[in-house]
Chains A and B, each alone.
Chain A
Amino acid sequence: MNLGYLNPADQFVLMYDHVLKEQGFSGNYCGLVLGLEGEVDVARLSERIASFRTHFPQCTARISQKKRQFFWQSGELENLFIHKTCSSDRPFEDFFQQQLTEYFNAPPALPVQFLLLSAEGGQHRFALRWYHPLTDARGAENLLRVLLSEMDLSQAADQEGQAKDAVLAYQQSLSLWQSLKQVKQVFSRIKEARTIQNAVALQLSSVKLCHRVLRFQPGETRQIQANAIKHLGLTGISLYFLACIMRALAQMSALLSYRGNGYVIPYAFNLRKANALYPLFHNQISFLFASAPDQVVADRQQLFAHLSKENKQVIGAQKDKAFIPLMRLAQQLPLPTYAKKVRFRVREEESSSCWFSYTGKSALADLAVFGAKIADYYQVSPVTQAPGLAILVSQWQQSLSFSLNYFADLENSWLTEFCRLFRQELLEE
């Protein structure tokens, strides 16, 4: 049974799934990880997940293709819940890291899976792994909002059925000429960004993904937010993070085989309204780039002014949503051609210095995982060679977390030094 066609943004991330699989990774699987305090009622959690699966058949669906159109084909009612327990002779943190790494590097299975890792004495962590073509990070968080609440799942499924797809709605609002004009605009933006030769290319041999989380206390978080507003205003929180990433990467360039002239960081932004629970499924995203040449990155104030001006020009000219008609057009291409056209530069090199995402304050703060309080929250993402690094920012209650996703053979000392410099940039130490 056809459960729905992939929208242009779904197919864009499916193209990345193709690229990742070609490089030997399991695919475009992302995750949300919750640190828990207290005992989880495992039986009730398992029951709720089983019921969730029944009401949302997308969770066990498979992607099929008919000519050039991809769609979700219903699958078997498989179990979405994995529960593993740490043996008493092993430190829980080791067990957790090893299991999570295995889970995100495991061969592809279902589009949605839930993992509960437990140890004696009430230690638990809960993770959602999702296949990116199914939904985006905000959609995944909304899946957890529905799962962990007491809402009626048949009502939730009805509401999902009535929800408006923002990507399709935007595309449908454009005439053919408006679409073509926007595609032209986005090509000029991509061309502009490509004048910057990417300065970072972590060419590594491993295909094992790892992550490290850089956390900030509430006082530090307030300081970072105040710095962002001081330099870039109320609209520039993401830009402040991007500027600090660029500056930290620039200071790391001595440790890399540096051969570029600047930095380009693409990032998705969500088209969902703030607080909207539906739609749960389909990627509701478009893309932006932040780019700056070396001489601008070298001067902190100049970099802030440059990114702010660039951002205002892009959003003012509505080039942000212009990626949607481009993705719609690219749906006509076979995935390998799509990847080649969009992802690579002329000389077949990656344009991005790293990947970035900022999802804001988590909406899970008032929820619990069947008896256990949520005490920590961060995201996990795949990454390709290159850029070899993805930085995902989220806020749990009053604390910011930066999840750094990288290859296993990226030197620990590189990452430690990068974190130190990045922290210094954020806090203006």
Chain B
Amino acid sequence: MKNLIKTFIFNELIFHANPAAFGDEENLFEAGLDSMGVMRLILFIEEHCQVVIPDSEVTPENLQNLNAIVACIERQKL
């Protein structure tokens, strides 16, 4: 799941010279993720990970890096 999300982010939302080297704890907002990107990311997650992310969970803390995103998705599945 993490790889799927990472591929989407770097194929569609953020340019990075070497996405493979982008760490799971690196900050996505500092890498360029903006509000439109967040919207697209949420819709992608909801479509491909079979979860609904409530508005209250769309926070900087939950989307700041790949590990935080995956943890947020896992929580919605509980």
Contact = CB atoms under 8 A, between A and B. Distances in A.
B14 A273 contact: yes
B13 interface: yes
A276 interface: yes
A236 B12 contact: no
Contacts of B39: 235, 311-312, 315
Contact of B31 (A233, A236, A275, A312): A275
B23 interface: no
A275 B15 contact: yes
Contacts, number: 48
The number of chain B residues touching the other chain, given as a range, is: 20 to 34
A316 B40 CA distance: 9
B1 interface: no
A233 B54 CA distance: 11
Interface string A261-297: 0000000010011111100000000000000000000
A115 interface: no
A311 B33 CA distance: 18
Contacts of A236: 35
A235 B33 contact: no
B33 A274 contact: yes
Contacts of A316: 43
A276 B16 CA distance: 8
Interface string A234-251: 111110000000000000
Interface string B1-25: 0000000000011111000000000
Given A233-B55, A235-B42, A315-B43, A273 B13 contact: yes
Given A234-B35, A235-B42, A360-B34, A274 B58 contact: no
A267 B60 CA distance: 25
Contacts of A275: 14-16, 31-32
A235 B15 contact: no
B18 to A, nearest CB: 13
Contact of A234 (B12, B16, B38): B38
A373 B17 CA distance: 27
B60 A234 contact: yes
B63 interface: yes
Contacts of A276: 15
A235 B36 CA distance: 6
Contacts of B13: 273-274
Nearest to A269: B36
A238 B55 contact: no
A287 to B, nearest CB: 13
A273 B28 CA distance: 13
A159 to B, nearest CB: 12
B22 to A, nearest CB: 12
Closest CB pairs A-B (n = 3):
A274-B32, A276-B15, A235-B39
26 contacts: A233-B55, A233-B58, A234-B38, A234-B59, A234-B60, A234-B63, A235-B35, A235-B38, A236-B35, A237-B35, A238-B35, A238-B36, A269-B36, A272-B15, A273-B12, A274-B13, A274-B14, A274-B15, A274-B32, A274-B33, A274-B34, A275-B15, A276-B15, A311-B39, A312-B39, A360-B34
Interface of A: 233-238, 269, 272-277, 311-312, 315-316, 360
